[in-house]
């Protein structure tokens, strides 16, 4: 292995690489054998979502050369697919991470060197705005340079198709094949054509914001509650460009910003991790909220496609909503208001992923609105929107990992839009003499209280990967028939694409793409979903439990009961 690694590193010393890169490679060769191995032992894999990895020199790192080779492969595929066009076009954006602007510029240079017209955002922008720009500008592809909420050492490269959604089959696997054909930097066209690169920015901001503002359903509620106190932080990311402006234009005049985190900072120096799913990331925002007595707290991740929401509970403490709770509030609000405004015609639908709460299904059922389940990944929600365009109307959707969308002009999760709609929902709730917390409790009383938990089990290395594979094989070939004293009544295997009804002894096909996911549905309404991670050495267990909630007063006791049920399921599966 070490000889192979040294040989690959030597090619970088002899190849067409800049002198700074070569010096860094020399330093690794002479002084840091372990880092040398990590940097060169394999090629950074271009997966179905693009690239993501630690920044640095080497074939297994994010740098201008791995970016350029990936872009050349994408260019080659575009040229094969759009032979009927006289001009192929691409849009490019980046987040605030270290090197993001450099990587975006590198991508633009390779596109233009290949004769592709480039619309390059002049500075950092949210991922959803890039998705919007692709369709608005009539592009065939788009790239956003971001590693989402990963730690500061990481960066990434997400590829989009002409519908504004991340690439799906067959384009994702075909692009991967083209990228894999690029064996070295000498196969990349690197000399840019400045005439084909056009900077964009504020003009697209304005058009995008106008579209988001047009989604508003309760302008009178906002007007009545324009002084509602909100705290917002972009966690040093791109959301600072647009979220404060959106809230202001909605008519919300009392928005306090976490000034320390409004500063674009690729080191994310005020947080351990810029992930709004983690309560720690909201510490400064919560502190600010107590100072100003805020009703709502928003925190968006670095590329502003996910949002964490904190609200005050019935005793005045701030609680961080999980992704299922925020998604349920959003879908309830949208469908309730669409119904009140007589916008529901029978052709509307919502979408959620298979690991997202079934509460959203119950809400959709109440309003006679169709619901689609898709595999994990927002690109599958975008695919449903594309398939139904002009036939049915997408109201909204989301996933448990803090990503939401409404309307059809963006085709990826959109935290900018979500901040606006959730703030509007809070204003509307106030006109009903409720806080957002009380609205959520009332939803639980009406539909049943749902509780979800995600358990990650990490298995490192080759042996760990084999152990994860064996766990999946065991669950698939010898499934449990009873879990926590409750009978398994349905098993969905998304790898074989078969649903087995254990009561009737029957099977039917699952009309979703193949994926290594298993779901067990229990007689007591519990659901267990098992899925190996595609990017990390983990196997993920999703637990969903449900019971009736008599009234708000019994919330704590009911919540404790559901927590205990989840722990008993985990014990029954011998996961702890």
Query: Which residues form the catalytic set?
Result: 148
* Displacement of CA 490 from its chain's centroid (Å): 28
- What's the CA angle centered on 203, arms 200 and 207, to 5 degrees? 125
**Per-residue tokens: 199:** 């900077």
Longest Cα–Cα distance of the chain, Å, equals 72
- Tell me: cis bond preceding 170? Omega within 30 of 0 counts: yes
Cα distances (angstroms) measured from residue 261 to each of 44, 96, 147, 302: 31, 12, 18, 11
- What's the CA angle centered on 172, arms 160 and 118, to 5 degrees? 30
State the DSSP H helix or E strand holding residue 80, giving kind and residue range, or none if neither.
helix 64-81
Q: Please say whether the beta carbons of 6 and 29 come within 8 A.
A: yes
Residue 525's closest CA among 549, 544, 540, 500? 544
As beta bridge partners, residue 452 has 544
**Per-residue tokens: 98:** 């270290």
How far is Cα 193 from Cα 55, in angstroms, rounded to an integer? 27
- Find the helix packing angle between 64-81 and 171-181, rounded to 10°: 120
Cα distances (angstroms) measured from residue 109 to each of 85, 102, 116: 20, 10, 10
What residues contact residue 468 under an 8 Å CB cut-off, 6+ apart? 459, 532, 537, 538, 539
How far is Cα 86 from Cα 576, in angstroms, rounded to an integer? 60
**Per-residue tokens: 263:** 């500063």
Q: Please say whether the beta carbons of 76 and 104 come within 8 A.
A: no
**Per-residue tokens: 35:** 């880092």
Distance from first CA to last CA of the chain, Å, rounded?
Answer: 36
**Per-residue tokens: 13:** 């010393």
How far is Cα 236 from Cα 325, in angstroms, rounded to an integer? 25
How far is Cα 528 from Cα 522, in angstroms, rounded to an integer? 8
């Amino acid at each position: 292995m070490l000889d192979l690694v040294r040989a690959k590193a030597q090619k970088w010393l002899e190849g067409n690489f800049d002198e700074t890169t070569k010096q860094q490679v020399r330093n690794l060769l002479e002084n840091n054998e372990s880092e040398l191995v990590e940097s060169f032992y394999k090629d950074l894999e271009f997966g179905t979502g693009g690239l993501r990895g630690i920044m640095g020199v080497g074939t297994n790192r994010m740098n201008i050369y791995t970016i350029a080779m990936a872009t050349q492969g994408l260019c080659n595929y575009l040229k094969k697919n759009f032979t009927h066009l006289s001009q192929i076009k691409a849009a490019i954006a980046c987040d605030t991470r270290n090197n993001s602007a450099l990587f975006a510029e590198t991508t633009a240079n390779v596109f233009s060197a290949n004769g592709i017209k480039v619309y390059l955002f002049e500075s950092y922008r949210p991922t959803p705005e890039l998705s919007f720009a692709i369709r608005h500008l009539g592009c065939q592809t788009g790239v956003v340079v971001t590693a989402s909420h990963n730690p500061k050492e990481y960066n990434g490269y997400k590829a989009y198709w002409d519908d504004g959604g991340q690439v799906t089959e067959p384009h994702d696997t075909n692009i991967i094949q083209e990228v894999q054909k690029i064996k070295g930097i000498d196969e990349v066209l690197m000399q840019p054509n400045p005439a084909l690169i056009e900077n964009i920015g504020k003009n697209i901001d304005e058009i995008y914001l106008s579209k988001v503002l047009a989604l508003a359903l309760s302008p009178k509620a906002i007007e009545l509650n324009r002084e509602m106190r909100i705290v917002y932080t972009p966690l040093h990311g791109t959301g600072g460009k647009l979220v404060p402006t959106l809230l202001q234009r909605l008519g919300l005049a009392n928005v306090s910003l976490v000034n320390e985190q409004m500063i674009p900072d690729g080191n994310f120096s005020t947080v351990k991790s810029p992930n709004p799913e983690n309560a720690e990331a909201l510490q400064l925002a919560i502190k600010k909220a107590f100072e100003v007595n805020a009703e709502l707290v928003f925190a968006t991740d670095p590329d502003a496609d996910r949002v964490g929401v904190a609200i005050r509970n019935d005793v005045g403490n701030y609680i961080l909503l999980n992704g299922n709770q925020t998604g349920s509030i959003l879908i309830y609000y949208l469908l309730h208001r669409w119904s009140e405004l007589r916008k529901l015609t029978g052709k509307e639908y919502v979408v959620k992923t298979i690991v997202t709460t079934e509460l959203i299904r119950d809400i959709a059922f109440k309003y006679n609105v169709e619901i689609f389940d898709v595999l994990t990944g927002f690109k599958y929600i975008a695919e449903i929107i594309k398939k139904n365009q002009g036939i049915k109307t997408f109201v909204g959707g989301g996933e448990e990992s803090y990503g939401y969308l409404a309307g059809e002009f963006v085709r990826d999760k959109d935290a900018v839009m979500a901040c606006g709609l959730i703030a509007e929902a809070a204003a509307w709730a106030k006109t009903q003499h409720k806080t957002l917390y009380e609205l959520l409790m009332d939803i639980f009383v009406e539909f049943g209280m749902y509780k979800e938990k995600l358990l990650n089990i990490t298995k490192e290395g080759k042996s760990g990967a084999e152990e994860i594979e064996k766990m999946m094989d065991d669950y698939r070939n010898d499934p449990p028939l009873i879990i926590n004293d409750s009978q398994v009544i349905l098993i969905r295997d998304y790898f074989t694409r078969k649903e087995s009804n254990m009561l009737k002894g029957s099977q039917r096909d699952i009309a979703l793409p193949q994926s290594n996911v298993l779901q067990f549905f229990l007689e007591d309404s519990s659901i267990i979903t098992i899925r190996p991670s595609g990017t990390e050495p983990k196997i993920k267990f999703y637990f969903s439990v449900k019971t009736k909630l008599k009234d708000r007063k019994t919330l704590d006791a009911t919540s404790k009961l559901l927590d205990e049920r989840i722990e008993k399921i985990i014990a029954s599966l011998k996961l702890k």
